Amino acid sequence: MDDNSVIALLASIPDPDEPASRVSVTAALRRGRRRRPVRVGASALAVVAVAAAVAVPRVMLSGDSGRYQPPASRSGSPAQPAMPVSAPATFSVLVPYAAFGWLPAGYSESNIPLGDSGLLSSGPAEVDRTAVTANGAMVTLGVDARGGCAGKSGSCAPGPASTRAPDVNGRPAWWIFDGRGIAWEYAPRAWAHVYMPAGRLPAPGRVDAARLRSLRAADDRAARQAPSAATRDLVLKIADAVKYAQHTPLVFDLTLDSRLPAGWSMQEMGFHVVGRRLLADGLTAGPAADTSALSVSATKPLGYGCNYVSGQSSYVTRDGVHWEYRVLDDGIAKDEEMLCSMRPVDGLDVNIYLDMAPEEAGAAPLPGSYRLGGVFGVYRKLHLLGPDPANWTTDPLR
């Protein structure tokens, strides 16, 4: 199934009614398509569905039937880290700013399979992290940079219908999603949230359309049920223990041995927890007009095939590598090139995506995009570090 088919499938599945959000699911799907351009795994459909389901509005506050009084067990919460006096206006994408400080038994970021992308990410405006259990239960953490939550009203201050929650580590907080989540201002004009969805991450493996509809229906039924006091207690404990101003960097199994074009910078990075390291899913960069114009990934082989699309793809051999080479020019997504290695290169599966023009039909090429020399030019500037973590680096641009 190709990427467009995934998007069409998701569009055909009715969503439950929910409050308006400034999060664009269409945009999220498009970003997901671009970051994993041509290699499709058995669980890709499920991951896209989950990514859409856990895209929490910033900060969508919800009414509640009554003020919650946490059970006495909260008095045994884990140690509460120091809260920041202020938050940066921009995060370093190479060092995720925030992390879980405590999780219930069985929850771990390490439980996310390497083939499932998009559940952990570090960006200049926000950090998103997800922990799961062996049976797919999830908890998500989202932390915004200062001013990153500003909407039409200019702030994320709660509205008159919002319901206060107990303070989070001494800072005022409000329930979201009827108590399945909590949002708090962890520093002036800087917000964070913890959310425990009712649904579960599908188990790795093939998830066809009928199974996906069944999962979505079960999640919808669960979401209509009020969360238990125990769930709210867990949400509060997790929020209390969130750690800020972290120093653990992402590590990369590749470097781009070339300067980026003028005006281009590294953007949001997906990552996975491998041992005690945060392994970046790849490198994403672009100018302001298209911040994900370039996406490069080199991953441990997972048995996935390249996504051949008739009329767009061809098989070529260049630089001693067998590739599936794909070109898109559909009047919307213009001048896009994609590479997918048919066999591992230096022990890694390689994917490269390059968009050389904005998505408006007839727009001028992105400044500096052609200096990269197309996807094959990018590959020639790429240095693969192999599957051994001892060889990975925290500096992907040399």
Structure confidence by residue, pLDDT tens digits, 230-273: 889 999 999 999 999 999 999 999 999 988 999 999 999 999 99
Residue 5 has pLDDT above 60, yes or no: no
CA distance 362 to 260: 24
CA distance 166 to 187: 17
Residue 361 has pLDDT above 60, yes or no: no
Range ranked top by mean pLDDT from 131-145, 206-220, 291-305: 131-145
Pairing of strands 121-122, 269-274: antiparallel
Q: What is the pLDDT of residues 388-398, one digit of tens each?
A: 888 999 999 97
DSSP letter at 236 equals H
219 falls in which pLDDT band (50, 70, 90)?
A: low
113 falls in which pLDDT band (50, 70, 90)?
A: confident
Residue 297, number of CB atoms within 10 A of its CB: 24
Structure tokens at 23: 């999060």
**CATH entry 3.40.50 includes domain 250-391:** no
Q: What is the pLDDT of residues 170-184, one digit of tens each?
A: 999 999 877 889 999
pLDDT score of 22: 30
Domain ranges of the chain: 3-68+79-240, 250-391
Q: What is the pLDDT of residues 304-331, one digit of tens each?
A: 788 888 889 999 999 999 999 999 865 5
CA distance 349 to 8: 27
Residue 225 has pLDDT above 90, yes or no: no
CA distance 151 to 57: 11
367 falls in which pLDDT band (50, 70, 90)?
A: confident
Q: In the chain, what is the straight-line distance between the N-terminal and C-terminal CA atoms, in Å?
A: 37
Integer angstrom CA distances of residue 53 from 57, 58, 219: 11, 14, 10
pLDDT score of 203: 62
Residue 292 has pLDDT above 80, yes or no: yes
**253 versus 3: which is more confidently predicted?**
253
CA distance 394 to 279: 10
Structure tokens at 160: 């008159």
CB 334 within 8 Å of CB 312: no
Structure tokens at 146: 């200062």
Q: List the single range of 33-42, 82-91, 347-356 with lowest mean pLDDT.
A: 33-42
Residue 318, number of CB atoms within 10 A of its CB: 13
CA distance 99 to 269: 15
Percent share of the chain, pLDDT over 90: 46
Structure tokens at 88: 């940066």
Q: What is the pLDDT of residues 60-70, one digit of tens each?
A: 444 443 344 44
